[in-house]
Structure 1
Amino acid sequence: MATEAKVESNSKTFVEPADQTMVESPDTWPQRLWHPLAGLNRSTQFILLAALILGLSMTFVGSLVSQQIKLAAAHSAGEGAAIYMEAYLDEYVQELATASTLKPESAQAIDDLMKETSLKQHVLSIKIWLPDGRNVYSTSKRPVFYYHPAGPIAEAMQGKVVTRLSPLDHDEHAYERSFDRPLYETYVPLREFGSGKIIAIGEFYEMEHEIGSIHLQVWAIIAAATLAMLVLLFLIVRHGDRIIGKQQTALRQQIHAQLALHEQNATLQRRIATASQEFATINELTHRRLGADLHDGPAQLLTLILLRLDELAALSTSTTSEPLETIRNAAQESLREIRGISRGLALPEINELNLDELLKLVVQRHEQRSETKVQLDLGELPEALSLPYKICVYRLVQEALNNAFHHAGGQGQRVSAECRQGVLEVQVADAGAGIDQGLQAATGSHRSRLGLVGMRYRVESLGGTFELESAPGQGTRVTARFDLHDDENCQ
């Protein structure tokens, strides 16, 4: 069974700056309302808003309670007026069943009731109306007039007791207005004894008993409850505000410490990237020097040895020619090896080449050296590329093509490169037998493993990612990716 092997690494650390984007929203009315409070602390903001909300709520509650008190007082006044009418006045208005006026004696009796009985403690004014709207009695002793309070009299004629807080806004209220205080106005039906027929309407004006003081008490209680709630909420919010303030101070200190660490980390990463690029350059210079030293040193000595061996071969006998030939072949093989190593270590002058020309050059040299064909596919590439990247790409393609030639016989060799959205991708593939990772780990050549490790190291030292994909019978593909957003002009 084929075993697929995929090796991927990513040594690049991305340091993202803190997002300082400010999202501006339209100036809406809540923002305009909140703007004057923005400079205050949270507890002050809360107490102001809570005072506003609770004030409005308690005002509504107080108004509702006051209204209910007024309605209850009016209902109580109506019931009291009906009792007073039955207790004091019914016997004096019975004559209205057959007459349209009260006798003077009856009117005087009603006046005496207002002066001498407990009725005067509750009732300030009495009026008696006929069903047709005529006034037949008034405590004020004003002349008989025709004022028809149609609504209340109509309801009283239906047997209802009508009570309201009188507005005292008509001429017939002149006497009642003289008391200069709120009065309840109650209309009570007066009935004939025996038949129960309504023969007149009695109107009472009664003082508003302690309603004002009750209102004051209600409002005082509501105000005290509101103030107590505000104080309690303020203390709770103030305590929470102090805790939040301490936590924010600690958080700010931690954020400042994190920012400092972030800056240190970014600085160290920049230093590491710079050091990696400088090391790659120094490493390449070392390779050049080694190649030159091998070419000028051991290669020249072996050449001299071969010349001397040729001289000895001319002077040798048949018994010594065979050992000399063996030595001569070994020296020639060593010379070829040294020259090959020297050419591999010596990098051509690539400072003036762009990436497109660089890739064409490395492919051309490989084709000349190995006498094989390489398919080259180049997409959009950056015009300018720093020297460490050029060296890395050259060595990566060179080593990958050498592996393809030695292990795949040069079958299906292909090199492709493209820069897209700031990422440079270089890929080298072949159509050979592939790599079985188990077999590779057990018996693979040391040189092959060293080559793969070298390629990975070169790519990752520049912050790139290295990926090896291979499986028996499916060839091998080496991919390197470099993020050039911050370094090069790559669209």
Structure 2
Amino acid sequence: MATEAKVESNSKTFVGPASATLVEASDTWPRRLWRPLAGLNRSTQFILCAALIMGLHMAFVGSLVSQQIRLAAAHSAGEGAAIYMEAYLDEYVQELATASTLKPESVQAIDDLMKETSLKQHVLSIKIWLPDGRNVYSTSKLPVFYYHPAGPIAAAMQGKVVTRLSPLDHDEHAYERSFGRPLYETYVPLRELGSGRIIAIGEFYEMEHEIGSIHQQVWAIIAAATLAVLLLLFLIVRRGDRIIEKQQAALRQQMQDQQALHLQNAALQLRVNTANREFATINELTHRRLGADLHDGPAQLLTLILLRLDELADLCKTGQSDALETVRNAAQESLREIRGISRGLALPEINGLNLDELLKLVVQRHEQRSETKVELELGELPEALSLPYKICIYRLVQEALNNAFHHAGGQGQRVSADTKNGLLEIQVKDAGAGFEQTRIDGDGAHRSRLGVVGMRYRVESLGGTFELESAPGQGTRVTARFDLRDVNDNQ
């Protein structure tokens, strides 16, 4: 016999309020929860969050399983009800096909069934209703409502078996409430033999099967599985957390080592810069001494040779004067070159000059020596600068202007200097023919290469940057930059 079970259980009262509570707290729960977790380690934070999430998930799963268990129990109860009604009641209700009440003999027979047969082991109470809702039989013999609510009866009149966990909340349930335990309330259609027409609705109350113990077992299994998963996850995360802590400790040690190395490098860099400045000073003193030695030594000897050659010229015969004149010209040329080298090696007294006066002096000397014009453009310059930087800038501009005179014929000679954001920039350029920079890099014996190397070395030895830009037909530009903030910090 086909049946259909519909379950209406108290589980709805559990799901509804819980869902409403979670929705109301969803806005503030994450923020309130995270505040006390902020000071905990990662594994503890993880296990607490995982416990909350998995707890909610398992509660949902447990509730769903409980509902499925109740559905299955209700379906089983409905199936059993249909069998009981067919086996015990069908023959006693056939008279309802033509009458609106049961005969006293039929009522007594049903009462005997409830007392003497195995039916009483499963069914606690039986009620029989007519299709219009009137009650024609009740096991309790207590006054009942003669008109039952139409909902379950209407469903049973359509041939359905309706089973639910009864709330037992009506006056007619006084007898059933006396048992003090949950009961399944089942409505089964009773049919006329032969025609199959529904002539009455049988209602009976059956004790709830041991669903409570099954629920407890289900919840115990879910709780044990959840705890096992949480423990496994905690062990995994804790192991990872320890690895991270070890790596963090190693990284902190490495950072401390790097910091110590950085301090050592800074100290070494300071010593190197100090040594470079001292070397530049010593180098300049060496140049001065070489210039003085050339002036006082070979230059004086050549001057003496020229004087004696003049005396010999008066004593020599006419035919020998040409040879003496050749020697005399060579000696004069050598003397001029030695004096020029001596003047180039010896710097003027620049210690008392500021950078503005220094640049004007080197440009003026170049103009006098080369008889060319140099455009000078000076911006905002520092008032005080240490001697090694003054010497470096003087030699840089001197060498760059000499190269401009020798290789560009003095065309478009221009010197500029300015300070922006603590960066001093010195620039010397010309409008000559220019050259390919690879030519200087490849020609090791070229004098220009030696001059460029010397300028670069002077600038970089003091922590500055050196740039040389040139191309055929575009002239040449030499640029040196010094970070005066570093200069002031190192002084």
Shift of 1:152: 1.1
Q: Residue in 2 aligned with 1:134?
A: 134
- Matched residues in 2 for 1:32 and 1:384: separation? 62
Q: Residue in 2 aligned with 1:348?
A: 348
- Matched residues in 2 for 1:163 and 1:197: separation? 21
**1:486 aligns to what SS in structure 2?**
helix
Aligned length: 462
Distance 1:32 1:93, change over 3 A: closer
- Farther off after superposition, 262-271 or 442-451: 442-451
Distance 1:352 1:172, change over 3 A: farther
Matched to 1:337, the amino acid is E
- Matched residues in 1 for 2:145 and 2:84: separation? 25
- Structure 2 counterparts to residues 423-438 of structure 1, below 5 A: 423-435=423-435
Unaligned 5+ segments in structure 2 are 1-27
- Matched residues in 1 for 2:440 and 2:461: separation? 25
Shift of 1:153: 1.6
Q: Residue in 1 aligned with 2:215?
A: 215
> Does the Cα contact within 8 Å between 1:191 and 1:200 map onto a contact in 2?
yes
- Matched residues in 2 for 1:29 and 1:295: separation? 92
Distance 1:439 1:318, change over 3 A: farther
CA deviation string 1:318-352 (max 9, x = no partner): 57765665555444434332332232222233344
CA deviation string 1:370-403 (max 9, x = no partner): 1011233444544544433332222111001112
- Matched residues in 2 for 1:134 and 1:295: separation? 145
Shift of 1:120: 0.9
Distance 1:477 1:83, change over 3 A: same
- Matched residues in 1 for 2:81 and 2:163: separation? 9
> Does the Cα contact within 8 Å between 1:126 and 1:139 map onto a contact in 2?
yes
- Matched residues in 1 for 2:122 and 2:141: separation? 19
Shift of 1:286: 2.7
Matched to 2:172, the amino acid is E
Q: Residue in 2 aligned with 1:458?
A: 458
Distance 1:475 1:120, change over 3 A: same
> Taking every aligned residue pair, what percent have the same amino acid on both sides?
86
- Matched residues in 2 for 1:239 and 1:448: separation? 67
1:148 correspondence with 2:148 = yes
- Farther off after superposition, 247-256 or 401-410: 247-256
- Matched residues in 1 for 2:126 and 2:57: separation? 41
**2:487 aligns to what SS in structure 1?**
coil
Matched to 2:145, the amino acid is F
Q: Residue in 2 aligned with 1:239?
A: 239
Shift of 1:116: 0.9
> Does the Cα contact within 8 Å between 1:309 and 1:324 map onto a contact in 2?
yes
Q: Residue in 2 aligned with 1:408?
A: 408
Distance 1:178 1:427, change over 3 A: same
Q: Residue in 2 aligned with 1:20?
A: none
**2:239 aligns to what SS in structure 1?**
helix
- Matched residues in 1 for 2:196 and 2:242: separation? 76
Shift of 1:484: 4.0
Q: Residue in 2 aligned with 1:93?
A: 93
- Farther off after superposition, 75-84 or 338-347: 338-347
**2:270 aligns to what SS in structure 1?**
helix
Q: CA RMSD for the aligned pairs?
A: 3.0
- Farther off after superposition, 124-133 or 210-219: 124-133
- Farther off after superposition, 284-293 or 459-468: 284-293
1:369 correspondence with 2:369 = yes
- Structure 2 counterparts to residues 310-389 of structure 1, below 5 A: 325-326=325-326, 328-389=328-389
Distance 1:412 1:29, change over 3 A: farther
**2:486 aligns to what SS in structure 1?**
coil
- Matched residues in 2 for 1:29 and 1:360: separation? 76
> Does the Cα contact within 8 Å between 2:440 and 2:446 map onto a contact in 1?
no
TM-score, with length taken from structure 1: 0.84
1:265 correspondence with 2:238 = no
Matched to 2:411, the amino acid is Q
Shift of 1:119: 0.9
Q: Residue in 1 aligned with 2:399?
A: 399
> Does the Cα contact within 8 Å between 2:440 and 2:448 map onto a contact in 1?
no
Q: Residue in 2 aligned with 1:40?
A: 40
> Does the Cα contact within 8 Å between 1:384 and 1:488 map onto a contact in 2?
no
Matched to 2:51, the amino acid is A
Distance 1:125 1:443, change over 3 A: closer
Shift of 1:458: 0.5
> Does the Cα contact within 8 Å between 2:144 and 2:172 map onto a contact in 1?
no
Shift of 1:234: 2.3
- Farther off after superposition, 219-228 or 33-42: 33-42
Distance 1:443 1:216, change over 3 A: closer
Q: Residue in 1 aligned with 2:14?
A: none
Unaligned 5+ segments in structure 1 are 1-27
Shift of 1:118: 1.1
Q: Residue in 2 aligned with 1:50?
A: 50
- Farther off after superposition, 142-151 or 202-211: 142-151
- Matched residues in 2 for 1:348 and 1:146: separation? 133
Q: Residue in 1 aligned with 2:6?
A: none
- Matched residues in 2 for 1:132 and 1:257: separation? 94
> Does the Cα contact within 8 Å between 1:403 and 1:448 map onto a contact in 2?
yes
- Matched residues in 2 for 1:150 and 1:114: separation? 26
- Structure 2 counterparts to residues 77-92 of structure 1, below 5 A: 77-92=77-92
Distance 1:254 1:359, change over 3 A: same
Matched to 2:389, the amino acid is Y
> Does the Cα contact within 8 Å between 1:136 and 1:144 map onto a contact in 2?
no
Shift of 1:438: 7.6
Q: Residue in 2 aligned with 1:15?
A: none
**1:487 aligns to what SS in structure 2?**
helix
> Does the Cα contact within 8 Å between 2:443 and 2:449 map onto a contact in 1?
no
- Matched residues in 2 for 1:418 and 1:32: separation? 60
Whose helix proportion is higher, 1 or 2?
2
- Farther off after superposition, 365-374 or 270-279: 270-279
Q: Residue in 2 aligned with 1:22?
A: none
**1:466 aligns to what SS in structure 2?**
strand
Q: Residue in 2 aligned with 1:75?
A: 75
1:276 correspondence with 2:276 = yes
- Matched residues in 2 for 1:29 and 1:129: separation? 53
- Matched residues in 2 for 1:425 and 1:446: separation? 27
- Structure 2 counterparts to residues 224-235 of structure 1, below 5 A: 224-235=224-235
Shift of 1:404: 1.7
- Matched residues in 1 for 2:132 and 2:113: separation? 26
**2:90 aligns to what SS in structure 1?**
helix
Shift of 1:176: 1.2
CA deviation string 1:303-328 (max 9, x = no partner): 55555665666677757765665555
> Does the Cα contact within 8 Å between 1:81 and 1:188 map onto a contact in 2?
yes
Matched to 1:402, the amino acid is N
TM-score, with length taken from structure 2: 0.84
- Matched residues in 1 for 2:188 and 2:29: separation? 55
